[in-house]
């Protein structure tokens, strides 16, 4: 195990924040967003600030950089010492000399942080021209060197490309190259890997770590993910509602978390293989108001009904999207989004579809519901072949299959009261009379842990977790047998995520629901699912019981995916010296492509693995 042994002395201190208090104007009052925050970062040290949305972690970064909005925000108290200067006392011009030069920043969304009309090389060169007064030719040479340092393959060619020609991971590499251009003493990274797939996330973290060692930078790493903290940070500050609730060395925090909130954050990190041998879902531990762990709800005996036909049978499902181009808009290629996918789902069972972005897991869910028209394949739901139904019959046939989306705010009509949103499907299908409606809506709201009186409100008056509860209530209104949950908890904060997952488990136990649970979040998948299907480039490469997939993965891609998942244990950091720069391949094939017929071998009971041709 390799951990850096630096003997910190006072001289090493890059950033020293003391008693920082940042306030925002709310109505007529100044309310603190960051309260009495102190932290020091030494060179070659990584300090993580961890918290959920609204914890003040991003405001901390903006305060340090002097990027708070000019109106409605102020630093009320505290000092931000960087190389002996108090940054809070500097003028905007003086700060501009420091930002992007001595202190660099990388953001969550690399696409919006890059200028789409400038080549990547020009953008990297820009800060060299401004801050280091280089000539155009030198700046270009340096930009090329930087792209090579962040391991962009064929850098001399790609330097002339535009951001949209880069993949998400490559864009983040380009952002890092820009940040490093002026050899900063301090790098502030605000959720730099949150929007990336797990395998790409691991690469980027590794890259930041290596570059830090080469440059001796201090890194301030802002994240909500304890797995990332364990992987990269030397010290961590846990923030909640603007206060620091825990502050210490990473190893200590993970070994002996002091504050209950830290423990909540830790529960959200995948344990991988520690869920035991059983295949029953395991609810998240919940904390009561005092911060003590509530006894986990007893795990129901298997909710799965094994007798009779499976509730959902999918056979050879294939969905493609045409890519047209040229003058006559001929088909030039096809996205093989879903390729020959087959699986069964029993009543009361949860099958998780996992994989990275573009693997076709969402398309599979939509094709099952026929929200997208599959090219081939058969979907039999409750004895009814959906693919044979006419459009009109589909409306009633789909009644018992509902969908819950990733973004609950987007999936509710902003101009509709939530009570009306829940009532609408019932009215359309004439399942409940108008007279009984408010009672039914009230019952559904109560069922998902909300108050019947909330029916009068609009979606924007609710928090993210409450909105997802509303979406669940709306889906339950139709008394479905199957719910397709497409990344339904991925956008929620970790503590809210735990509550929603537990609600879904409780509903499954009491109502016998089946879930097709589409997610990239292994921590959730590991808890919620009975069986797991791993998708790669539109195909299922491995499908089997949860314990088998997590405990004994067979397919190389499953192994790669699981090994990229970050564990909440700083002592198990994987220091792979060889940095992989693999990209996720594209599922676009030429128009005349004939997909090979795949064979599967049985690796255990009900555990199937694709055989490499």
Partner 1 sequence: MTIATSSPRRQSAFWMAFRSNRLAWLGVALLAIIVFSAVFAPWIAPHDPLQQNILHRLQPPSSEFLLGTDTYGRDVLSRLIYGSRVSLVVGFVAILIAMVVGSAIGILSGFIGGVFDRVVMSLLDVMLSFPTLLLGLMIAAMLGASFENLIIAIAITEMAPFARVARAPTISLKQRDFIEAGRAMGFSDSRLMGRHILPNMLSEVVVVGSMWMASAIRTEASLSFIGLGVPPPTPTWGGMIREGFENILDSWWLAVCPSVAILLTVLALNILGDALRDAIDPKTRVE
Query: Restricting to residues 373-432, which ones interact with partner 1 according to CB under 8 A?
Result: 394-396, 398-399, 401-403, 405-407, 410-416, 424-425, 428-429
Beta bridge partners of residue 49, listed in sequence order? 222, 237
Whose Cβ is closer to partner 1: residue 184's or residue 408's? 408
Q: Which of 445, 471, 567, 584 binds partner 1 (CB under 8 A)?
A: 471
> Which CB atom, from 66 or from 480, has the smaller least distance to partner 1?
480
| Cβ distance to partner 1 smaller for residue 210 or 407 | 407
Stretch that binds partner 1, among 88-96, 452-460, 524-532, 580-588 (CB under 8 A): 452-460
Helices (H), 429-555: 434-447, 464-477, 494-511, 522-528, 546-551
User: Which range of residues in 93-101, 439-447, 453-461, 539-547 is near partner 1 by CB under 8 A?
Assistant: 453-461
DSSP 200-266: HHHHHHHHHHHHHHHHT-EEEEEES-HHHHHHH-SEEEEEETTEEEEEEEHHHHHHS--SHHHHHHH
Judged by CB under 8 A, which of 100, 227, 465, 553 binds partner 1? 465
Smallest distance, partner 1 to C-beta of residue 300, A: 23
Residue closer to partner 1, measured from CB, 52 or 190: 52
Contacts of 27 (CB under 8 A, 6+ apart): none
460 in contact with partner 1 (CB under 8 A):
yes
CA distances from 474 to 209, 355, 446 (A): 45, 28, 12
Report the residue number, 461 or 582, with the smaller CB distance to partner 1.
461
In whole angstroms, the minimum distance from the beta carbon of 198 to partner 1 comes to 24
Question: Which residue, among 520, 440, 451, 460, has the nearest Cα to 485 in the 3D structure?
Answer: 520
Backbone angles phi, psi at 244, to 5 degrees: -85, 120
Give the whole-angstrom CA distance, residue 278 versus residue 548: 10
Contact 213, 232 (CB under 8 A): no
Among 209, 457, 560, 598, binds partner 1 (CB under 8 A): 457
Q: Does 83 bind partner 1 (CB under 8 A)?
A: no
Q: How far is the CB of 399 from partner 1 (least distance, A)?
A: 6
**Residues constituting the chain:** 613
* Short-list 155, 152, 214, 226, CA closest to 180: 214
- Contact track, partner 1, 339-378, x by CB under 8 A: ------------------------------x-x-------
To partner 1, the closest distance from the beta carbon of 519 in angstroms equals: 16
Least CB distance to partner 1 at residue 567 (A): 29
DSSP per-residue letters across 116-139 = TTS-HHHHHHHHHHHHH---HHHH
Q: Nearer to partner 1 by C-beta: 162 or 458?
A: 458
Which residues, at least 6 apart from 447, have a Cβ–Cβ distance to it below 8 Å? 473, 476, 507
Cα(69)–Cα(212) distance, integer angstroms: 30
The correct pick among 22, 206, 499, 514 for binding partner 1 (CB under 8 A) is 499
User: Cα 546 from chain centroid?
Assistant: 21
Tell the residue number behind the tokens 């019959």, with chain if given: 393
Q: Minimal distance in Å, beta carbon 446 to partner 1? A: 13
Number of amino acids touching partner 1 (CB under 8 A): 37
Q: Where do contacts with partner 1 occur on this chain (CB under 8 A)?
A: 369, 371, 394-396, 398-399, 401-403, 405-407, 410-416, 424-425, 428-429, 449, 457-458, 460-463, 465-466, 471, 474, 478, 499
């Amino acid at each position: 195990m390799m951990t850096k042994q630096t003997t910190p002395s006072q001289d090493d201190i890059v950033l020293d924040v003391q008693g920082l208090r940042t306030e925002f104007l709310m109505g007529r009052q100044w309310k603190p967003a960051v309260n009495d925050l102190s932290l020091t970062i030494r060179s070659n040290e990584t300090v993580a600030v961890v918290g959920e949305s609204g914890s003040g972690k991003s405001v901390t970064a903006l305060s340090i950089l002097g990027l708070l909005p000019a109106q409605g925000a102020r630093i009320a108290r505290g000092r931000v010492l960087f190389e002996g200067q108090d940054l809070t006392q500097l003028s905007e011009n003086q700060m501009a000399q420091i930002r992007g030069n001595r202190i660099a920043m990388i953001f969550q969304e690399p696409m919006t942080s890059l200028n789409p009309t400038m080549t990547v090389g020009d953008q990297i060169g820009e800060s060299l021209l401004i801050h280091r007064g280089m000539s155009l030719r030198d700046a270009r040479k340096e930009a090329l060197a930087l792209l090579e340092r962040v391991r962009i393959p064929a850098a001399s060619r790609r330097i002339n490309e535009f951001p949209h020609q880069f993949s998400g991971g490559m864009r983040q590499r380009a952002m890092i190259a820009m940040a490093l251009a002026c050899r900063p003493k301090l790098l502030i990274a605000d959720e730099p890997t949150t929007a990336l797939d797990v395998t790409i996330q691991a690469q980027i973290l590794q890259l930041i770590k290596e570059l830090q060692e080469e440059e001796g930078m201090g890194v301030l790493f802002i994240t909500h993910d304890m797995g990332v903290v364990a992987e990269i940070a030397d010290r961590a500050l846990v923030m909640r509602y603007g206060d620091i609730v825990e502050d210490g060395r990473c190893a200590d925090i993970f070994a002996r978390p002091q504050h209950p909130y830290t423990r909540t954050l830790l529960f959200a990190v995948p344990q991988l293989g520690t869920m035991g041998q059983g295949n029953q879902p395991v609810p998240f531990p919940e904390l009561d108001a005092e911060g003590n762990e509530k006894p986990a709800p007893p795990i129901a005996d298997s909710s799965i009904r094994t007798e009779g036909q499976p509730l959902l049978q999918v056979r050879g499902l294939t969905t493609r999207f045409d890519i047209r181009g040229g003058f006559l808009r001929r088909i030039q290629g096809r996205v093989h989004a879903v390729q020959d996918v087959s699986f069964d789902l029993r009543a009361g069972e949860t099958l998780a579809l996992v994989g990275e972005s573009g693997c076709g897991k969402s398309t599979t869910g939509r094709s099952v519901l026929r929200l997208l028209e599959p090219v081939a394949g058969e979907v039999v739901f409750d004895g009814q072949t959906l693919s044979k139904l006419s459009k009109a019959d589909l409306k009633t046939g789909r009644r018992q299959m509902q969908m819950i989306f990733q973004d609950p705010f987007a999936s509710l009509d902003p101009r509709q009261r939530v009570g009306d949103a829940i009532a609408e499907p019932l009215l359309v299908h004439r399942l409940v009379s108008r007279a009984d409606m408010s009672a039914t809506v009230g019952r559904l709201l109560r069922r998902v842990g909300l108050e019947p009186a909330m029916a009068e409100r609009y979606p924007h008056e609710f928090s993210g977790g409450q909105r997802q509860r509303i979406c669940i209530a709306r889906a339950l209104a139709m008394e479905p047998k199957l719910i397709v949950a497409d990344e339904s908890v991925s956008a929620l904060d970790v503590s809210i995520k735990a509550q929603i997952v537990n609600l879904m488990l409780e509903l499954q136990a009491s109502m016998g629901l089946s879930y097709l649970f589409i997610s990239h979040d292994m921590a959730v998948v590991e808890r919620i699912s009975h069986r797991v299907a791993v998708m790669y480039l539109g195909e299922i490469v491995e499908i089997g019981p949860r314990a088998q997939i997590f405990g004994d993965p067979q397919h190389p891609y499953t192994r790669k995916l699981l090994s990229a998942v970050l564990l909440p244990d700083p002592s198990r950091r994987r220091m792979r010296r060889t940095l992989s720069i693999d990209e996720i391949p594209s599922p676009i094939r030429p128009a005349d492509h004939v997909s090979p017929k795949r064979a599967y071998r049985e690796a255990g009971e009900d555990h199937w693995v694709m055989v490499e041709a």
